[in-house]
């Protein structure tokens, strides 16, 4: 199983992402953003976290126009699997590969902590190893994770089962760290081949890191 991880100026989670997927047995290649071809045989593209282009203008707004993003869009349009984590999620939103937009966190703080997530939908490639209602303990680290979408489009997300993860406490009660609508932490597109989430499963791969719940999430992509 072959994974490509695009790297933009300011990306800083590409090596954590590579390490996490290699632990699961994937072959991972980091690809500079000026590349315009996705290698043949790629099974998954993971757009990693960080601060692409210094988050100038808006998070992800400038990375969207990198040559590699055109290739990623074409890859997704033909049904290829794409996962965006944190800044990667923001880039997928700016690229319109996923619906909605990010605002500054409601309390304006950069929030960096472990956060429980509730699995809302596991009928997809990403979370198929998880159970609906299951709680996962995963780190978050962001200043712009306040997901926003207009009411009509939010209804469509619910109707199509596109809301994958919501923020909660350890008992499963809503516990929202950033003000996102519907406590949303992660979504997918209607076709269920493009996924985005603010939390960092690649940082929860070993008990010594405080949690290894990230394994159950990422191993969904194994064949």
Partner 1 sequence: MKAIVNVYLKEGVLDPQGKAVHHALGALGFDSVSDVRVGKQIVLDLDAVSMQSAEEEVKRMCETLLANTVIEDYSVEIVQ
Burial class, 137, CB count within 10 angstroms (exposed 0-12 / middle 13-18 / buried 19+): middle
Say whether residue 63 binds partner 1 (CB under 8 A): no
Does 86 qualify as catalytic in the annotation? yes
Set 86, 130, 168, 188: catalytic member: 86
User: How many residues sit in the footprint of partner 1 (CB under 8 A)?
Assistant: 19
Between 15 and 148, name the residue whose CB sits nearer to partner 1.
Answer: 148
Say whether residue 206 binds partner 1 (CB under 8 A): no
Token pair 């203008």 in the structure block, residue: 57
Set 94, 120, 144, 202: catalytic member: 202
Among 105, 166, 176, 180, contact with partner 1 (rule: CB under 8 A): 105
Element at 17 (helix H, strand E): helix 14-23
CA 181 to chain CA centroid, nearest Å: 17
Among 23, 103, 114, 128, contact with partner 1 (rule: CB under 8 A): 103
Say whether residue 6 binds partner 1 (CB under 8 A): no
Say whether residue 1 binds partner 1 (CB under 8 A): no
Query: What is the largest distance, in Å, between two alpha-carbon atoms of the chain?
Result: 45
Stretch that binds partner 1, among 59-67, 77-85, 115-123, 134-142 (CB under 8 A): 59-67
How do 2-7 and 27-32 pair as beta strands? parallel
How do 81-85 and 44-47 pair as beta strands? parallel
Q: Which two tokens stand for residue 13?
A: 């989670």
Residue 122 DSSP code: -
Which parts of 108-127 interact with partner 1 (CB under 8 A)? 108
Say whether residue 146 binds partner 1 (CB under 8 A): yes
Say whether residue 135 binds partner 1 (CB under 8 A): no
């Amino acid at each position: 199983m072959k994974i490509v991880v695009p790297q933009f100026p300011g990306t800083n989670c590409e090596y954590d992402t590579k390490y996490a997927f290699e632990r699961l047995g994937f072959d991972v290649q980091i690809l500079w953003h000026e590349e315009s071809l996705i290698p043949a045989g790629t099974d998954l593209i993971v757009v990693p976290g960080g601060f692409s282009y210094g988050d100038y203008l808006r998070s992800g707004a400038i990375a969207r126009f990198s040559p590699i993003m055109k290739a990623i869009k074409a890859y997704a349009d033909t049904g290829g699997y794409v996962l965006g984590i944190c800044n990667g999620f923001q880039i997928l939103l700016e690229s319109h590969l996923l619906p909605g937009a990010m605002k500054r966190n409601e309390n304006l703080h950069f929030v960096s902590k472990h956060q429980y997530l509730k699995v809302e939908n596991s009928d997809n490639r990403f979370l198929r190893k998880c159970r609906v209602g299951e709680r996962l303990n995963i780190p978050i680290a962001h200043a712009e994770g306040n997901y926003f979408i207009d009411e009509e489009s939010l209804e469509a997300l619910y109707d199509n089962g596109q809301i994958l993860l919501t923020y909660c406490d350890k008992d499963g009660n809503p516990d929202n760290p950033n003000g996102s609508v519907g406590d949303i932490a992660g979504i997918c597109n209607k076709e269920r081949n493009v996924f985005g989430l603010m939390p960092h499963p690649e940082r929860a791969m070993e008990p010594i890191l405080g949690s290894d719940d990230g394994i159950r999430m990422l191993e969904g992509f194994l064949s």
